[in-house]
């Protein structure tokens, strides 16, 4: 401890005690409650925006802007018109991840749900099974394996090297990178905000002037984390669209 600076260990920043006397794998803690809250917020927002006003305003206008963004900038760009069927799923995925992320900067909450690996991992597993299912459905069992392990345009002798790499990519690298990217970025942002908050408070209690620099950086970090919350939700959603679209439409 220096100048009242007491930085808690990382485990204290991401682990939360179970509430209501619950325990084990079904324990209810702060992260679980925030996950439920995020789901409720998304449902309430889109159900409240279902009005069909001729001139949209308020929640309806904002909701339509998000829907247009998902349709035009994600689905049509990666999956084509056939991917419009996946609009509700991708829209829900984007909105849910964003709300989970933005909890990081909400006073009295200040905990991004996606900074716990369980949430990104669960969403990744859902995406993982969906794009493999769509691959088998649209290409057939053997056709999907062929397009996956033997991409066109590769000289046959190189398949001995390319096929194992493709197998690892489809079944391990893709889901691992999808989950870890979201988890690591939000955890890093959470740790930075906590560190600079503690540093600013400690320096402010010692000398007002000394807290100016870390305090300014803290404000900038809050603005940056808003960008990260949107960007990581976008990246997760667009990669999901790419993976599903690739399973539906193999390369020729």
Mean pLDDT is lowest, of 127-141, 221-235, 238-252, for: 238-252
> Is pLDDT larger for residue 95 or for residue 192?
95
Radius of gyration in angstroms for the set of CA atoms belonging to the chain, rounded to a whole number:
22
Of the pLDDT bands very low, low, confident and very high (cuts 50, 70, 90), residue 194 is: confident
Mean pLDDT, to the nearest integer, of 230-247?
95
> Is pLDDT larger for residue 105 or for residue 23?
105
Q: Is the pLDDT of residue 41 over 90?
A: yes
Residue 172: the pLDDT is: 92
Q: Is the pLDDT of residue 43 over 90?
A: yes
Cα-based distances in Å from 52 to 48, 55, 64: 11, 8, 11
Contact of 218 with 86, CB cutoff 8 Å: no
Of 22-36, 111-125, 149-163, 209-223, give the range with the top mean pLDDT: 111-125
Whole-angstrom distance, CA of residue 107 vs CA of residue 96: 19
Q: What is the pTM assigned to this prediction?
A: 0.87
Of the pLDDT bands very low, low, confident and very high (cuts 50, 70, 90), residue 42 is: very high
Per residue in 65-123, pLDDT (tens digit) is 899 999 999 999 999 888 899 999 999 999 999 999 999 998 888 889 999 898 999 99
Question: Token match 């909105």: residue?
Answer: 95
Residue 36: the pLDDT is: 94
Of the pLDDT bands very low, low, confident and very high (cuts 50, 70, 90), residue 47 is: confident
Residue ranges of alpha helices (H) inside the chain are: 10-14, 30-48, 59-69, 76-78, 87-102, 118-139, 141-149, 159-168, 174-206, 212-248
């Amino acid at each position: 401890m220096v100048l009242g600076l007491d930085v808690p260990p990382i485990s204290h920043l991401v682990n939360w005690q179970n509430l209501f006397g619950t325990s084990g794998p079904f324990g209810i803690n702060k992260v679980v409650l925030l996950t439920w809250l995020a789901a409720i917020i998304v449902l309430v927002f889109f159900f409240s925006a279902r009005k069909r006003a001729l001139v949209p305003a308020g929640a309806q206008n904002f909701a339509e802007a998000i829907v247009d963004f998902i349709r035009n900038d994600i689905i049509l760009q990666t999956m084509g018109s056939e991917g419009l069927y996946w609009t509700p799923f991708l829209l829900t995925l984007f909105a849910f991840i964003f709300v989970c992320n933005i909890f990081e900067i909400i006073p009295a909450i200040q905990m991004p749900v996606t900074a716990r690996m369980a949430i990104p991992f669960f969403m990744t597993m859902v995406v993982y099974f969906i794009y493999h299912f769509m691959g088998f459905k649209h290409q057939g069992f053997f056709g999907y394996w062929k397009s996956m392990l033997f991409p066109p345009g590769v000289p046959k002798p190189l398949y001995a090297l390319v096929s194992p790499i493709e197998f690892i990519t489809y079944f391990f690298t893709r889901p691992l990178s999808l989950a870890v990217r979201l988890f690591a970025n939000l955890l890093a942002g959470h740790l930075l905000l906590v560190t600079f908050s503690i540093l600013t408070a400690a320096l402010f209690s010692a000398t007002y002037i000394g807290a100016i620099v870390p305090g300014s950086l803290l404000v900038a970090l809050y603005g940056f984390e808003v960008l990260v919350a949107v960007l990581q939700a976008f990246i997760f959603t667009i990669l999901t669209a790419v993976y599903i679209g690739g399973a539906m439409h193999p390369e020729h």
